[in-house]
Amino acid sequence: MNKVIEAVNGYKIPQLGFGVYKIKNGKEFEMAIHEAIRVGYRHFDTAKIYGNEEELGRELQNSGIPREQFFITSKVWTTDLGYEATKKAFEQTCKKLNVTYLDMYLIHFAGPHYLEAWKAMEELYSEGKIKVIGVANFEIHHLENVMKHSRIPPMINQIETHPEFPQNELHEYLARHRILHEAWGPLGQGNKALLDRPELTEIAFHHNKSVAQVILR
């Protein structure tokens, strides 16, 4: 089901990912992940602050599908930014997910000490423990600061992106610097008003697709 995008280092990323933000732990979480896997999702996105890394790891393991067929993303929270703190947070995340490496690890926000955190992530990447290193919610000046003080530029920036907030200027900057643009909240976080927009419903009708399909396209 999933087209693959390549990071600047050639590592393959399934284009459609399943984010587990705000999914309650327990039966609801178990059913959501089980169904996502059943319909073909292999890219799963979590974060320390979501509080469900352990549950996600358990469900992926229970699926019986080999680890290497999944693309797993997590993120270091702002309270864990810093060289030693980020390394420790990474190890805790791997332990909770029950994995030996992460496909992608992101700095969740540009909080204090994010440059030191990036240095830790560069080392973890060089050791093969993270396959793709990147950031989330970074603006242009944050990205420029990282690139000025790093050996390895961010490979991806995960940012809020949808028809009412396309982030065109930032997108163009990312494209120029070969940093992938990953959207979070592409459906406006379930905003019904967005799904009812007349221009989008017209396009969807014309192509015999749902509005959600048009937006993702």
What are the tens digits of pLDDT across the range 83-103?
999 999 999 999 999 999 999
Give catalytic status of residue 50 as yes or no. Answer: yes
Instruction: Say if CB 46 and CB 76 are below 8 A apart.
Output: no
> Residue 83: its pLDDT value, please?
98
Chain segment 143-186, per-residue pLDDT in tens? 999 999 999 999 999 999 999 999 999 999 999 999 999 999 99
CB atoms within 10 A of CB 26: 9
Q: What integer is the mean pLDDT of 6-11?
A: 98
**The predicted structure's pLDDT at residue 13:** 98
pLDDT value for 1: 58
Buried b vs exposed e over 59-89: b needs ≥16 C-beta within 10 Å? bbeeeeeeeeebbbbbbbbbebbbbebbbeb
Asked if 144 contacts 122 with a C-beta cutoff of 8 angstroms, the reply is no
For range 98-123, the mean pLDDT: 98
Which among 11, 21, 41, 50 is annotated as catalytic? 50
CA–CA distances in Å: residue 73 to residues 1, 27, 158: 19, 22, 11
pLDDT of residue 168: 97
Tell whether the model's pLDDT for residue 2 goes beyond 90: no
Single pTM value for the model: 0.95
